[in-house]
Structure 1
Amino acid sequence: MKKLIEWIKSPASDRFFLIVVILLLNIVSVRSFVRLDLTSQKTYSLSKASKNVVKNIESPLSIKMFFSEDLPSPYNNVQQYLTDLLSEYKSNASSAFSYQIYDMSKEENQRIAQEYGLSPVQIDTVETAGFSSKIAWMGIAITYGDYIASIDALKTSADIEYKITTTISKIISAQETDAEAMYQIGYITGHKEYELRSNRYAQSYFETGAGNFRTLLSDIYSIKEIDLTHENIPVNLNAVIINGPKEEIPEDQLKKIDDYIMQGGNVAFFVDALDEYFVNNDQLPIFLENNSNITKLLEGYGIKIDGSFVMDQKCFYQNQSGFGKQFLHWVPVIDKDSTPRKNAITDNLGGILLFCASPIDISEIEKNSDIKTTVLAKSSDESWRAKENIILYPGSNLPSENENLKAENLAVLAEGNFSSAFNPSVKSTLKSKIVVVSSGASTTDVIVDSEGTSATALFLRNIIDYVNNNEDFCAMRTKGTRLDFISIKNEKSAFIVKMLNEFGLAVVIILIGFIVWRMRIARRYIIHQKYNPDDKRFISSKKNDEGGSEK
Structure 2
Amino acid sequence: RLDLTADRVYSLDLSTRALLYRLEKPLLAKVYFTKGLQAPYNNHEQVLIDKLEDFRAYSKGLMDIEVADPTGLKELTEEAQRFGIEPIQYRYRSSQVTELKKVYMGVALVYGDRQEVLPAVTATDTLEYELARAVKRLVSEEGPRTVGWTLGNGEPNLLTGGGPLERIRNSLTEEYNLQGVDPNSIDGIPEEVDALFVVGPQRPFSPRAQYEVDQFLMRGGALAMFVTNTKPDMRTMQPQSVVHNLEAMMGKYGVQVNRDIVVDRARNGQMNLPVRQGRYMVRMPVNYPLIPRVDVTATEHPTVRGLDTMLFPFVSSVELAQPLPGDLEATILARSTEASGRIRGIRTIDPQAYKIVAPGEERGAWPVLVALDGTFESAFANRSIPTRTDGSADDGAGRIRESAPTRLVAAGSADFVANNVSFVLNLVDWLVQDETLVSIRAKQVRMPQLDKIEPSDARIAKAANLLTGPLLLFLFGLARWASRRRGAGVSETSSVSEEVGQ
AA paired with 1:226?
A: V
What residue number does 1:20 align with?
none
Equivalent in the alignment of 1:248: 204
SS of match in other structure, 2:437: helix
Asked if residue 355 in structure 1 is aligned to residue 313 in structure 2, the reply is yes
| Residues 81 and 246 of structure 1, relative CA distance in 2, 3 Å threshold | same
8 Å contact kept, 1:238–1:469: no
Q: Sort the Cα spacing of 1:262 and 1:354 in 2 relative to 1 into closer, same or farther, 3 A.
A: same
Return the letter of the residue paired with 2:376: F
Q: Note if contact 2:260-2:342 (Cα within 8 Å) is conserved in structure 1.
A: yes
User: Which of 293, 296, 302 is the matching residue for 2:254?
Assistant: 302
- 1:385 counterpart (326, 339, 342): 342
Question: Matches of 1:233 and 1:105 in 2, distance apart?
Answer: 51
CA separation of 1:369/1:71 partners in 2, compared to 1, >3 Å: closer, same or farther?
Answer: farther
Q: Give structure 1 stretches of 5+ with no counterpart.
A: 1-34, 201-207, 449-455, 512-540, 542-546
* Larger Cα-atom Rg: 1
Contact 1:158 1:481 in 2 (8 A): no
Cα distance in 2 for residues equivalent to 1:295 and 1:414: 16
Alpha-carbon distance in structure 1 between the residues aligned to 2:287 and 2:29? 48
3-state SS in 2 of match to 1:298: helix
CA offsets 1:382-415 (integer angstroms, 9 cap, x no match):
3333443544444345544654433322211122
Pairs within 5 Å for 1:222-301:
222-229=177-184, 230-231=186-187, 233=189, 237-275=193-231, 286-290=239-243, 292-301=244-253
Deviation at 1:209, TM superposition (A): 9.7
Instruction: Describe the superposition over 1:449-496 as per-residue Cα deviations: whole angstroms up to 9, x where unpaired.
Output: xxxxxxx11112211121111223222223233244564731323554
Structure 2: how far apart are the matches of 1:42 and 1:395? 44
Other structure's SS at 1:287 match: strand
Q: Distance in 2 between matches of 1:227 and 1:383?
A: 37
Would you say the 8 A contact 2:107–2:118 is kept in 1? Answer: yes
Q: In the TM superposition, what whole-angstrom CA distance separates every residue of 1:415-462 from its partner, at most 9, and x where no partner exists?
A: 2333444559x995843211112222334xxx35xxxxxxx1111221
Quote the Cα distance in structure 2 between the aligned partners of 1:498 and 1:297: 61
Task: Give the 5 Å matches for 1:358-507.
Answer: 358-362=316-320, 364=322, 367=324, 370-400=327-357, 403-423=361-381, 430-443=404-417, 447=418, 456-484=420-448, 487=451, 489=453, 490-496=458-464
Tell me: CA distance 1:48–1:266, structure 2 relative to 1, closer, same or farther (3 Å). farther
In 1, are the aligned partners of 2:226 and 2:413 still within 8 Å (CA)? yes
- Which secondary structure state, in structure 2, belongs to the residue aligned with residue 89 of structure 1? helix
Which of 110, 133, 150 does residue 166 from structure 1 map onto?
A: 133
Shift of 1:304: 1.2
SS of match in other structure, 2:16:
helix
Match of 1:67 in 2: 33
Q: Which amino acid aligns with 1:356?
A: F
In 1, Cα distance between equivalents of 2:258 and 2:148: 27
Match for 1:329 among 264, 273, 289? 289
- Alignment equivalent of 2:171, drawn from 216, 237, 244: 216
CA contact (8 A) 2:202 2:242 kept: no
Q: How many Å apart are 1:154 and its aligned residue?
A: 2.0
Partners of 1:219 and 1:505 lie apart in 2 by 56
- Alignment match, 1:16: none
Structure 1 residue identity aligned to 2:126: D
Q: Give unmatched runs, 5+ long, in structure 2.
A: 383-399, 480-492, 494-498
Q: How far, CA to CA, are the matches of 2:40 and 2:436 in structure 1?
A: 27
Partner residue in 2 for 1:518: none
Is this contact kept in 1: 2:129–2:440, CA < 8 A?
yes
**Counterpart-to-counterpart distance in 1, 2:449 and 2:461:** 14
**Contact 1:382 1:405 (8 Å CA) reproduced:** yes
What RMSD in Å do the two structures reach over aligned CA positions? 4.5
Distance 1:481 1:247, change over 3 A: closer
The one-letter amino acid paired with 2:150 is I
Whether 1:81 aligns to 2:41 is no
- Relative to structure 1, the CA distance from residue 134 to residue 501 in structure 2 (aligned partners, 3 Å threshold; closer, same or farther) is farther
Q: Which moved more, 1:213-222 or 1:456-465?
A: 213-222
Whole-angstrom distance in 2 between the partners of 1:354 and 1:126 = 43
Deviations 1:192-230 (A, max 9, x none): 332224568xxxxxxx99444333321111123333342
Distance change in 2, residues 1:79/1:442 (3 Å): same
Give the counterpart letter for 1:161 in structure 2: E
Pairing 1:130-141 to 2, within 5 Å after superposition = 137-141=104-108
- Equivalent residue letter for 1:113: A
Q: Give the Cα separation in 1 of the matches to 2:102 and 2:367.
A: 48
**Matched residue of 1:165: which SS?**
helix
Aligned residue among 68, 78, 81 for 1:102: 68
> In structure 2, what is the Cα distance between the partners aligned to 1:475 and 1:315?
27
> Alpha-carbon deviations, 1:153-179, whole Å to 9, x = none?
323222222222323444566xx68x6
CA distance in structure 2 between the partners assigned to 1:199 and 1:439 by the alignment: 18
Report the CA distance shift for 1:64/1:194 in structure 2 as closer, same or farther (over 3 A): same
Preserved CA contact (<8 Å) 1:411 1:435: yes
Question: Are the aligned partners of 1:417 and 1:427 in contact in 2 as well (CA < 8 Å)?
Answer: no
1:332 and 1:128 map into 2 onto residues whose CA distance is 49
Following TM superposition, by how much is the alpha carbon of 1:112 offset from its aligned partner in structure 2, in angstroms? 4.2
Aligned residue number for residue 18 of structure 1: none
The SS at the match of 2:109 is strand
Alignment partners' CA distance in 2, 1:458 and 1:125: 33
CA distance, structure 2, for counterparts of residue 505 and residue 134 of structure 1? 51
Distance 2:222 2:375 in 1: 11
- CA distance in structure 2 between the partners assigned to 1:506 and 1:71 by the alignment: 45
How far apart, in 2, do the equivalents of 1:166 and 1:498 lie?
47
> What secondary structure, in the 3-state scheme, does the structure 1 residue paired with 2:337 have?
coil
Q: Relative to structure 1, is the Cα distance of residues 548 and 103 closer, same or farther in structure 2, using a 3 angstrom cutoff?
A: farther
User: Is the Cα contact below 8 Å between 1:359 and 1:408 reproduced in 2?
Assistant: yes
SS at match of 2:436: helix
User: Hey, what's the Cα distance between the residues in 1 that align with 2:213 and 2:154?
Assistant: 17
C-alpha contact 2:147 2:178 (8 A) present in aligned 1: yes
